[in-house]
Each structure stands twice: as C-alpha cells, then as structure tokens.
Amino acid sequence: MDPMPIHSPHGKAACFPMVSCDCAMDEVIELLLVNGRTSVTVAGSDGGPCGTFDLMAHLLRVRQGLACGPGEAVGGHLEAPGEEPPAQAGSLWREVLHSMLSGTEKPMVALTDGAERVLFANASLRGAFPGLFPGPSVTIPDLLPGHPVGRDADNGAVSFWFVQNQQRAFMVLRVRPALDGIGALVLFELTSQLSKGYQEALDEVDVLKRVLNTVEGLQVVDTRGVITLVNESFLRIHHLTREQSEGHPVTEVIDNTRMHIVAQTGVSEVDEIQTIGGHEYVVSRIPIFKDGKCLGAVGRIVFQDFQEIQRLALKAKRLQMELEALRKSKGKAHADTRFSFEDIVATCESSLLAKERAMMGAPTASTILLLGESGVGKEVYAHAIHNLSPRYSRPFVRVNCSAITESLIESELFGYEDGAFTGARKGGRAGKFELANTGTIFLDEIGDMPLSAQAKLLRVLQEREIDRVGGEGTMPVDIRVIAATNQDLWAMVEQKKFRRDLFFRLNVIPIVIPPLRDRPGDVKALAKLFWADLQKTHGITTKFLTEGAKHLLQDYPWPGNIRELHNVLERTFTIVRDNLISEDQVRMILQGVGSSAGHVCENEDCPLDEVVEKAERRAIGFALARTNNNKAQAAKLLGISRPLLYRKMHQYDIS
C-alpha cells in the first residue's frame, strides 16, 4: 500500500499511511495528534480503503453521548468512503499537541470541550488515573481538583499552572476550546524532588496568603490604576467577588478612591478619612517602589469604624481632662471648694455625658447652667468646674437664691453703701458678686430669684459691672457664673415667672445631671464609695452589705437622689448592729423612711397626722432593722405590744 501525501500543520508535505480497520481507537487518535491531523484513511481486510476516520466527527459523537471504549476497533467508527479531507489549519490545540507529542517524552494528554468534559484521554493519562478511567463523564475537576477554573489565570487561550493532587504534583498546560469547541489538556508529572520543592513553595504561598488576609481591606493597583490583588477582607467589606475587582480599574470598583493617584504620583497618603458605603474609614495608601521606580500602590484600612476612633478620642480627651483636674486639685485650690471631677462618680452613659460636658466647659469663661433634681449633686459639679477652670485659685462664692428674702436679695448680691437703708452696716458691705471678683459665683436655686433681682443680674451678665444699693457709679467685676436649678426654667419663662432674656444669658452651656433612678449603675459605685467613707469615719471596718442588700439599693427609685442614698447608708451603718447587713434590714430602713417621707412638710402648716405618720413609720422601720426583723424585740424596743406593732405595720404597709 503506497503512502498518501498529506499536509502537516506547518505546511510541509509528508506521507502518511492508511491504518488498519482492526487498530484500536486510542492508538489511531494518538497517531493523528502526533502528526497534527484530524482524519486518516482506513484500510479494510482486503488492503483497500474502506472509509475515513474523522477525529472531529468522532469527538462530536462523544459529546452527544455516543461513547465508545478506547480499545474498540476503529473500523466500526468510519465516515463514508471517499477522498480524505485536508487538515484544517489554525486550530491551536492541534498545533500544541503536535508539538508536545512529536518529541521523545510522551506526556499525558486529553481532549476537552467547553464544559470541561474529557472527550479523549491517551494511554499515559488513563494509566496515571486508573480510578477514573474507564468511566463516564470524566471532567477536568475530577482529574485536577485544584485547577483554577474561572480565575484570571485561566482566561487566556493558553494557561499554565501547578496542581497538587494528593501526594502527586503536576505541571499543567491547558488550551481553551476554540471555535471548533475542542480544547486540550497536557499534564507533566513532576519528579519527587521537584514535587517536594513545589510543596514547599505552596506552603510559603499559603503563609503569605494568611499574612495578607490579616490586613484589613488590602488592595494593590498598578500604575494604570488597575487592581491586581485584593484579599478576602477587601471582598467582604466591599461586598464583591474576586472577578468583580481584580483586573478592573480601581475607580470603577471603589467610590472616592485615590489609589490611582498615589500609584501615579508616588506620594503616600497615611491615615486619611474615606467614605465607603455610607461609613467612614481611616485608610492608608502607600506607593510601591523598585529601583527608584513606582510600580503601583498598596492600600489598607486602618480603622473600619470612624465612630470607634471618635469614641477612643473622646475617652483620651476625658482622661486628659481628668489628669488636668487632678493636677490642679493637688495645687493651690481655693478653700471654699473641696470637690473635683475625681469625686464625681459616673459609670452610666447619661452621667458620663454630663461629666464630659462639664469637663469640656470648665476651662472656658462661659456661663454654665446645671439642671437636675434636688440631691443629684449640682454643687459638687460646681466645685469641680471651678477647680478645673483657670480661676481655680481664686474665690468661689455660693449663693442660695431661695434662702434670701426678696427685700434683701439685691443688697446680698450687689452690696450696699453706708446709710443705704435703715439698719445698714456702717461703712457699707460688699455683695456676693464683689466678693467673687476674679473668681466664680455659684447661683444655686436660680429659679427662686425674684423678678426684680433678675433684671439686675441680667445687667451684670451683660455689662460685667455692678451697682451697690445706695451707691453712685458702677464697679467692674471679672466673674464666671455657674447657675443651678431643679425647676423647669423654660416653663417658668412661659408662665412669666422668669425673664426670657436672662434665661438665654444663663443657658450658654446647659448640663443636665440625670436623676439616680435613671443611672442604676452609678448607685452601686456610689454605695461602695459612701460605705468606705463610713467605715473610715466610724473606725469600723467589719460591717458589710450582703449582695442582696446591694441589689435592693440598686433597684430602689431614690426620689431624694444621691443625698437620700448617703443618708440611708449612714442610717443603716449606725442603727444596725450586725456586721453583715441583710437585704431585709436595709428594706426596713427604706420602709421606715417611706417613698414620700422626704416630701412630708414639717412647717407650721403641716397637718398633725402627717407628722405622726412620719415619726411612727421611721421609728418602726429603725426598730425592725435594728432587731433584724424580730417583731417581738422590735415591739419591746418601741415600748408597745406586739399586736399594736402588727396593726401599725399593716397601716403603713411595712412588710
């Protein structure tokens, strides 16, 4: 049989023999691949041509599910007899396989389709994976579970990578399917030494990946501003996939970015604020240099939540102000003030806010208005503000506006001259504002100031000068005003009981001190502080409150606020003789006081039954607390019968 002239993929004439119809299918296909052909003439039993085996037609049948075994005879899979078609030029997979298989080394080879199905595997590949062949529908992931499908490395016509499969390492060359729908896969198994080195390289890469993933929002761009690398944190923060980020211009991926500018200019941008998805982040952008040339830039998120930074900054500022307050308290403070911000207990958010605002306003010269119920510690705040101000070594003068009669308030505040009125001191007298000159005046209960005095106070705040009663001319004063009230001044303004213009003059820095019932966390801290002071004052260190007693104090509403808490603790400390004071004993003290005891009037207009109720309630509560709720001993201590004690307890709802 004479050889037939053929055309190789490289355009050179060659001779190619016919193959016997009894040849195995895989041998014929591999023969075609070695020679870069897609068809061959098949000889029948008589030695003459009986048909043509066309590789492309055969692969089409395989893709359609009409599979055949690699050992089947080629004679059963022929096209109609006729002239052999010429080889198709330009199919990349045929050129690659012709080049790979024509050498002395015979690699493992597979033909694939666009769905990554293996349409043909040569003997070497089948021998390397006996568990998969023969088998239906073998795919590339079955062969190489770690191959990078869908990644940028796999997007070109030809891709190249390493794959570790169990204890074996492969160097893989893949040709993507072309217009004819056929692709190729070539595998070279590495030697044990190369495999070991490759595994070590993989381990180093894995460590590098783990290190990179510890950086928040890592991204790398080249000089064109195209993203070349991102880590998992970046994808999570921006809600993106790797395909949506890598290979894309950074300006199309991230809003408000400046990465491309840093990559072009080579100028670092460190700790800058950037808004991403409605949240503020602190980011850094650093250029990458090699041999003095900028190759791109790397960006990272320093802080994910800018609010957290603000919180830390406020905390640092608060600590700085407390340190300054401590420094000044160790200095020469005025004798009239004994409290500093160290003495203000604040653990709850509302009390922390009030303390922080007071510390921020203290160093200024602005007027401060302290608002809060009776007993919340407004005077303590006033002392602390003065001690943290630049006037801490100057006078601090307290004025209780509710304790001065309307006829005397002007002379008390502004002073008077000799002979200003009948009974005036000879030589006159300096008023509170004059005494507070260069320092601070604390106007407590400002809501009780008469309207006539309010007008003069307004002039002092505006002009910073005073007129003595009966005097001629004015006297300049340099003062800082702190006012306090437990009343709703704005409601009083609307009721015409307080001047509107004075309200706005006082309400420059308003500080609302929350009641104790709204900050139960502070009760525990205050109780601990007061109890330690009582132990020190009385010289008794063996008395303690049980946990139940502490919880009872924390749950009590405290209508009298801090003042009431201190009084109840002092009363408990002195009345109860036991070293370990129980919850019931504290409850007896609280019931003896009564929730309305602090509001029962004690002046000449108070009804007798209210005075009696208050006295009996307090006596019964103290007696029960002192006897650890022993009714017989309490009745004996009170000098009454036990039935009468029970009736009184029922009458006053004392349990």
Per-residue model confidence as pLDDT tens digits over 120-132: 888 888 888 887 8
Per-residue pLDDT at 576 exceeds 90: no
All CATH 3.30.450.20 domain ranges in the chain, comma separated: 107-208, 217-304
CATH 1.10.8.60: does it fit domain 518-651? yes
Interval 391-423: pLDDT, tens: 888 899 999 888 887 777 778 888 887 766 666
Angle at 273 between CA 270 and CA 279, to 5 degrees: 140
Dist. CA 328–CA 386, nearest whole Å: 10
Look up residue 520 and give its two tokens. Answer: 């139960």
Higher pLDDT, 273 or 99: 273
The answer to whether residues 399 and 441 touch, using CB atoms and an 8 Å cutoff, is yes
> Which tokens belong to 406?
């309307």
CATH number for domain 107-208, candidates 3.30.450.20, 3.40.50.2300, 3.40.50.620, 3.40.640.10: 3.30.450.20
pLDDT band at 520 (very low <50, low <70, confident <90, very high): confident
168-175 vs 183-189, strand pairing mode? antiparallel
Comparing 241-250, 514-523, 598-607, the range with the smallest average pLDDT is: 598-607
The CATH class of 217-304 is alpha beta
C-alpha to C-alpha distance for 76 and 131, rounded to whole angstroms: 27
CA dihedral 250, 252, 257, 259 (to 10 degrees): 20
**Structure-token pair, residue 30:** 């591999």
In the structure, what pLDDT confidence band is assigned to residue 133 with cuts at 50, 70 and 90?
Answer: confident
Sheet containing 19-20: which strands, arranged edge to edge?
19-20, 39-43, 49-54
Provide the pLDDT for residue 81.
Answer: 61
The amino acid at 219: Q
State the DSSP H helix or E strand holding residue 62, giving kind and residue range, or none if neither: helix 55-63
Chain-centroid distance of CA 508 in Å reads 33
Least confident of 302-316, 419-433, 598-612: 598-612
Among 67-71, 191-195, 628-632, the minimum mean pLDDT is found in 191-195
Tokens read off for 530: 């007061």
Q: Please state which architecture CATH assigns to domain 333-512.
A: 3-Layer(aba) Sandwich (3.40)
Token reading at 570: 């002092």
Q: What is the mean pLDDT of residues 425-454?
A: 86
| pLDDT, average across residues 501-509 | 92
pLDDT band with cut points at 50, 70 and 90 for residue 645: confident
Q: How far apart (Å, rounded) are the C-alpha atoms in residues 48 and 27?
A: 20
**Are 230 and 254 within 8 A, CB to CB?**
no
More reliable by pLDDT, 419 or 244: 244
Q: Which two tokens stand for residue 108?
A: 């493992």
What is the per-residue pLDDT for 307? 62
The reported pLDDT for the residue numbered 611 is: 67
Q: What is the 3-state secondary structure (H, E, C) of 170-213?
A: EEEEEECCCCCCCEEEEEEECCHHHHHHHHHHHHHHHHHHHHHH
Place of tokens 């003095």: 292
Stronger pLDDT, 4 or 76, i.e. the higher one: 76
Q: Tokens at residue 263, please?
A: 């990559």
> In DSSP terms, which residues pair with 121 in a beta bridge?
110
* Pairing between β-strand 480-485 and β-strand 4-7 as defined by DSSP bridges: unpaired
Contacts of 139 by beta carbon, 8 Å cutoff, 6+ apart: 115, 116, 117, 118
CA distance 282 to 284: 7
Predicted pLDDT of residue 481: 93
- Lowest-pLDDT range, 164-168, 345-349, 399-403, 627-631? 164-168
- Average pLDDT (452-471) is 84
- Neighbouring CB atoms inside 10 A of 355's CB total 21
Q: How far apart are CA 510 and CA 415, in angstroms?
A: 28
Residue 387: how many CB atoms within 10 A of its CB? 27
Task: Identify the helix (H) or strand (E) that includes residue 4.
Answer: strand 4-7
| The pLDDT of residue 68 is above 80 | no
d(CA 384, CA 381): 5
* Residue linked to tokens 């004993």: 585
Spatial separation of the C-alpha atoms in residues 577 and 628, rounded to whole Å: 9
**Residue type at position 233:** S
Burial 269-306, CB ≥16 within 10 A → b, else e: beeeebebeeeebbbebebbeeeeebbbbbbbbebbee
Percentage of residues of the chain with pLDDT beyond 70:
78
Check residue 9 and give its pLDDT: 39
Q: Is residue 376 very low, low, confident or very high in pLDDT (cuts 50, 70, 90)?
A: very high
Tell me the C-alpha distance between 378 and 504, whole Å: 20
Environment class of 103 (CB within 10 Å of its CB; exposed 0-12, middle 13-18, buried 19+): exposed
Span of 218-222, 239-243, 424-428, 488-492 with lowest mean pLDDT: 424-428
Residue 630's pLDDT is what? 77
Of the listed ranges 171-180, 375-384, 432-441, 621-630, the one predicted with least confidence: 621-630
CA dihedral angle for residue 452, residue 458, residue 460, residue 463, rounded to 10 degrees: -130
Rounded CA-CA distance 91/214 in Å is 45
Predicted confidence band of residue 596 (pLDDT cuts 50, 70, 90): very low
Using alpha carbons, select from 324, 329, 415, 315 the residue that is nearest to residue 363.
324
Q: Output the pLDDT for position 600.
A: 42
Please say if the pLDDT value at position 11 is more than 50: no
Tell me the mean pLDDT in the region 589-594.
Answer: 67
- The CATH fold assigned to 4-76 is CBS-domain (3.10.580)
- Residue 5 vs residues 2, 15, 78, 468, 483: alpha-carbon distances, Å: 10, 5, 20, 130, 113
pTM confidence score: 0.47
Is the dihedral angle over the CA atoms 601, 602, 605, 609 positive or is it negative? Answer: positive
For residues 280 and 302, give the distance between their C-alpha atoms in angstroms, rounded to a whole number.
11
CA distances from 559 to 393, 517, 562, 606 (A): 35, 8, 9, 21
Mean pLDDT in residue range 352-376: 91
Q: So what's the pLDDT on residue 402?
A: 84
Q: Which of 215-229, 461-475, 543-557, 592-606 has the lowest mean pLDDT?
A: 592-606
- Name, in order, each residue with C-beta under 8 angstroms of 283's C-beta and a sequence gap of 6 or more: 217, 271, 272, 273, 274, 299, 300, 301, 302
Statement: residue 615 has pLDDT above 80: no
Average predicted confidence (pLDDT) for the chain: 78
| pLDDT in the model for residue 325 | 57
- Chain segment 442-458, per-residue pLDDT in tens: 999 999 888 888 888 88
Of 265, 272, 271, 260, the C-alpha closest to 298 is 260
Q: Please state at what angle helix 631-638 crosses helix 642-651, rounded to 10 degrees.
A: 100
Amino acid letter, 271 = D
Mean pLDDT over 206-221 rounds to 78
